[in-house]
A = this chain, B = another copy of it.
């Protein structure tokens, strides 16, 4: 039987989602705790990995097991055993045709950032991008990223992925509070560090280091050296996975 497991985590203290030997990861903790609750050896498949330090408001996984589960009881026991920074949102039965990664249609990430002086409360979840940043320039550059494109210029160089074409459905910056903003990006998939490099490129645009009109050239160049720096993982959240 196959179950959908929705989870939420603060990735600050983890070496990313994917299980690794001798490292504490989200997948490692989830599999350890779920195996303990179900007294079985459970493997978990997520919609995708998140990098070290990246959090998820809602991540979707699936797992198979032999038993018919009491969903509420299992979720309750699982949340007692799980570390406080990983929590189960829901468990639902599904069919074997569902696959957390392969069936995913769209993913939305958010990158939280703020401008101006350091605000310790914001530092808990957002990245400070400093003073004198033109947010409206950043916003006007967003439209150039939308569509089906080869995003090679926005992919960390140490990747084995060959096809770097992805479709971005939406990219925009919205204010949350005075000085605090979020970048919202929805796509059919993301390359390694892609959101953090797009964010770094937008910061360079906001600082006037890259012109808004250069964005198309940077995309067309397929050259990682032409785009902005990779922003810190703090501030990046997997918000939603759509099927």
Which residues of A line the B interface, CB within 8 A? Answer: 8-10, 55-57, 79, 84-90, 116-121, 123-125, 176-177, 237
Contacts and interface: CB of A to CB of B under 8 A. Distances in A.
Nearest to A55: B121
B120 A10 contact: yes
A172 to B, nearest CB: 15
Contacts of A10: 120-121, 123-124
B176 A118 contact: no
A175 to B, nearest CB: 11
Given A8-B118, A55-B121, 6 more contacts: A9-B121, A10-B121, A79-B118, A86-B120, A87-B119, A121-B125
B117 A84 contact: no
Contacts of A84: 120, 123
Nearest to A176: B176
B119 A57 contact: yes
B121 A87 contact: no
A121 B57 contact: yes
A65 B90 CA distance: 58
Contact of A237 (B90, B121, B123, B125): B121
Nearest to A84: B120
Closest 4 CB pairs of A and B: A10-B120, A87-B118, A85-B120, A89-B117
A168 B176 CA distance: 24
B176 A119 contact: no
A57 B90 CA distance: 34
A87 B123 CA distance: 11
A122 to B, nearest CB: 8
